[in-house]
Amino acid sequence: MSIVPVEKLFTIFSETADILAEELSCTYLEALAETGENMFHGDILQDELSELSIKRIKKIYNELKLADYSREEIRKAFQLAILKGMQQNIQPNHQMTPDSIGMFIGYLVSKFIDQTSYRLLDPAVGTGNLLSAVLNHQTDKNVQSLGSEIDEVLLKLAYVNANLQMHEVEFFNQDSLEPLFIDPVDAVICDLPIGYYPNDLRASDYEIHAESGHTYAHHLFIEQSAKHTKQGGYLFFLIPNGLFESEQAKHLHEFIKNHLYIQGVIQLPLSMFKNKQAAKSILILQKQSDQVKPPKQALLVDLPKLSDGQAMSRILKQIDGWVAENKK
Ligand code: SAM
């Protein structure tokens, strides 16, 4: 993929978002969702703009033919624009899933899921960057996807992101730990939000809840995801490396033992993160069923730097071999 179209499209998103943010007195991220919506509809939908701004925005849009861009080019350009907005307004719990992780999870989903048609849920969909990176990897598959997110602005960005990339996604703007009114899915992907869940009453509905005080939201997300997955379905979580070592880990171990099989843990290279405490892994689980057996041995991998082509291709071969052996 050439970098030039991505930069050009990023500039279009960014310049028009700047104009809209100023005119509408809103944040850059809100304006980005507005401009994305305009670009999708091929029209200017905000009626409170000045003549001059309409003229400036139209001129910029005229340089654009969305149909000339691939889905990945659109995703990357939109991602750059979101990153710009997030730098202006840092919220640690709203971080977008980085590109390389999204693409790697996309690769794993395509390896583990054989069905040509299936349902996929991201219960913390955020900006939709992870979901669309995964969807863009599922070539020749018919994926019905669903995304849930508590933050209204992020969800709007996810919705615009999906529209621009022509992905049909059903979105829910809600606390995903409240009841989710969806049919069971074949697979879940989730970059887990980390921290305590403040609603103890709701948490008490979950098997995994702490005896006293707040329960970890990331644990509840695992249980909620498992609940909405079909038997034999797969779950791919981006987890903190210390997930199984916290003071609440006992409940998580128990929940996993009773309902899920650990398929694998893939530790991401430390160089991807600010420090050791921030480092993450990908946890792959399968929901138990009479029809499936646990793997003989879980796939345990330390991923090298993604830029190390040789080491990466050795590891991908190892993963392919494990999948072929264990999914016969
Ligand atoms: N994968 C996303 C992306 O690519 O943009 C980023 C996910 S981010 C690490 C975690 C997300 O979980 C945040 O967007 C946050 O707003 C959301 N979140 C946190 N608690 C939530 C809850 N109870 N219900 C729904 N979403 C929640």
Residue closest via CA to ligand 1's atom 15 equals 94
**99-326 CATH:** 3.40.50.150
Residues lining ligand 1, CB < 6 A? Answer: 93-97, 124, 126-127, 129-130, 148-151, 154, 175-177, 191, 193, 217
* pLDDT tens, position by position, 230-253: 999 999 999 999 999 999 999 999
Helix/strand/coil (H/E/C) assignment for every residue in 157-175: HHHHHHHHCCCCEEEEECC
* pLDDT tens, position by position, 9-37: 999 999 999 999 999 999 999 999 999 99
Contacts of 120 (CB under 8 A, 6+ apart): 109, 131, 134, 135, 143, 144, 145, 146, 185, 186, 187, 188, 189
- Given a cut of 70, is residue 1 above it in pLDDT? no
> Ligand 1 atom closest to Cα of 130?
4
pLDDT at 3: 60
**3-88 CATH:** 1.10.150.470
Pocket test for ligand 1, best of 151, 171, 215, 236 (most atoms within 8 A of CB): 151
For the chain, what are the domain ranges? 3-88, 99-326
51: exposed, middle or buried (Cβ count in 10 Å: 0-12, 13-18, 19+): exposed
pTM over 0.85: yes
